[in-house]
Amino acid sequence: MLTQKPKGTNDLFPPEVFLWEEIERKFREVCRRFGYQEIRTPIFEHTELFERGVGETTDIVEKEMYTFLDKAGRSITLRPEGTAAVIRAYVEAKKYADPGPAKYFYIGPMFRYDKPQAGRLRQFHQLGVEILGSDEPMVDAEVILMALEFYREIGLNDVELRLNSVGCPECRKSLREKLIEYFEERKDELCDLCKARLNRNPLRILDCKNESCQKIAQNAPTPLSELCPDCREHFTEVRKYLDLAQVKYVIDPFLVRGLDYYTKTAFEFVVPEIGAQSSIGGGGRYNGLIREIGGPDQPGIGFALGEERTILALKRKSEEIFVPVPDLFVCLLGEEAREYGFPLINELRRLNLWVETDYQGKSLKAQLKAANRLKAKAALIIGEEELKSGRFILRDLETGEQVELSRDELIKKYAKERGKDNA
């Protein structure tokens, strides 16, 4: 066990980690364009927050939370998702009093004690956003568009958008009754899980993956068929804005999200080819959640994208990962060269260069071999002779060309190049 990671977790090494960095960088960039700012909340919260926020009859709360008592006997839970925590922070800091809407994004690990498989982990990572304080349909459409812009930015152009409206508590009341009546008559054909869900959370039967349940659900009443006039109007408007931005989507009346807080718009991003865990992101509106968590009656909407699944979808296209390489490898030959080179390397690094060197006093041949193995762009050679003459050899490792430079010329050359890079 000592050298084994816990089930459902991953270690991340280079070069894979470069892909993660790139994805997170692009996510931040898209958030900046849409005016979202970062929020960082704790990785653990009081258990009650998720019980209330996510919903007591959800799989997450019933089966999947990492919950423990701390040393003072408080019940603590590792966050299974980000939304409830963001809202807790928003309410606690009374940010709702500021002129809104508030727009936050977050990146980080989430924890669910689920059965691990491809694309399903116990510690996974989400890129998420929440916008609090507006019920405008244009906001729904913009949030969806933003996720799609991010996917486009990272080269995922074929993500399918599935869209639904799950209505408000008003429409849900009559739907619930109708669903219970409908499924009660066909109870024998439901899977055990759905039998248990029937009276507690009948909506979830609609998206059960069991074949028999799916068959029965096909003719069941759906949230979409039971929308009240206000929710219907909202949904029409959301679609109008999506159409204006030429966003393609599939209306999926059976789309029921796994968290209880959703009202009105609900959506998922799907890449069917990556297997059973094909939902690479999802979100929706949650107009009752801020009040449920002790804040004012303000609406909200957001999404979270699974990083692991996003990467699975990307790798389906190409396994190639962009790997950064050192700008320069400084070969140091002898003690005097090391003493001379040590501060010089630091000066070069201040110019924003990635500079590698040899720490072990290897031969020139071995140092050049190391430089090539790292795919360094150039090598600088500092030996006894170079120190005497004050001229150093700079070899371009891609073309093999080399030039002789003084220390000053070397610094100037890189400063000039960097100046251009930064322009």
Instruction: In angstroms, give the least distance from the CB of 332 to ligand HAM.
Output: 46
Helix, strand, coil shares, percent, the chain, to 5: 45, 20, 35
Cα distance between residue 54 and residue 73, in whole Å: 23
Instruction: In angstroms, give the least distance from the CB of 247 to ligand HAM.
Output: 18
Report CA-CA distances (Å) from 397 to 42, 227, 346, 394, 416.
Answer: 47, 66, 21, 9, 20
Instruction: In angstroms, give the least distance from the CB of 276 to ligand HAM.
Output: 12
β-pairing, 392-396 with 378-382?
A: antiparallel
Let me know: does 155 contact 314? Beta carbons within 8 Å.
Answer: yes
Cα distance between residue 360 and residue 27, in whole Å: 40
**Which three-class secondary structure state does DSSP give residue 7?**
coil
**Which three-class secondary structure state does DSSP give residue 32?**
helix
Q: Which helix (H) or strand (E) holds 251?
A: strand 250-251
Query: DSSP characters for 292-356?
Result: HTTS-S--EEEEEEEHHHHHHHHHTT---------SEEEEE-SHHHHHHHHHHHHHHHHTT--EE
Cα distance between residue 175 and residue 90, in whole Å: 32
Instruction: In angstroms, give the least distance from the CB of 313 to ligand HAM.
Output: 10
Instruction: In angstroms, give the least distance from the CB of 87 to ligand HAM.
Output: 10
Q: Which is nearer to ligand HAM, 287 or 357 (CB)?
A: 287
Q: Which is nearer to ligand HAM, 271 or 328 (CB)?
A: 271
Is the CA virtual torsion 7, 13, 17, 19 positive or negative?
Answer: negative
Instruction: In angstroms, give the least distance from the CB of 243 to ligand HAM.
Output: 23
Q: Which is nearer to ligand HAM, 95 or 120 (CB)?
A: 120
Q: Which is nearer to ligand HAM, 79 or 395 (CB)?
A: 79
Instruction: In angstroms, give the least distance from the CB of 23 to ligand HAM.
Output: 13
* Residues at the site binding ligand HAM, with contacts judged by CB under 6 A: 81-83, 112, 114, 119-121, 124, 126, 128, 130, 258-259, 279-284, 302-304, 306, 308-309
Cα distance between residue 394 and residue 400, in whole Å: 10
User: Which residues make beta-bridge pairs with 402?
Assistant: 395
Scan for tokens 């990467």, then name that residue: 311
- Rg of the chain over CA atoms, in angstroms? 28
Q: Which is nearer to ligand HAM, 216 or 280 (CB)?
A: 280
Instruction: In angstroms, give the least distance from the CB of 89 to ligand HAM.
Output: 14
Let me know: does 105 contact 39? Beta carbons within 8 Å.
Answer: yes
Name the closest residue to ligand HAM (Cβ). 306
Is the CA virtual torsion 78, 83, 89, 92 positive or negative?
Answer: negative
Binding site residues for L-histidine, as ranges?
81-83, 112, 126, 130, 257, 261-262
Q: Which is nearer to ligand HAM, 221 or 281 (CB)?
A: 281
Q: Which is nearer to ligand HAM, 163 or 304 (CB)?
A: 304
Cα distance between residue 367 and residue 353, in whole Å: 19
Listing from the earlier edge strand, what are the strands of the sheet with 66-69?
44-46, 75-78, 66-69
Q: Which is nearer to ligand HAM, 61 or 216 (CB)?
A: 61
Binding site residues, as ranges?
81-83, 112, 126, 130, 257, 261-262
Instruction: In angstroms, give the least distance from the CB of 193 to ligand HAM.
Output: 18
Q: Which is nearer to ligand HAM, 52 or 395 (CB)?
A: 52
Strand ranges in 73-147 using DSSP code E only, listed in sequence order? 75-78, 102-111, 123-132
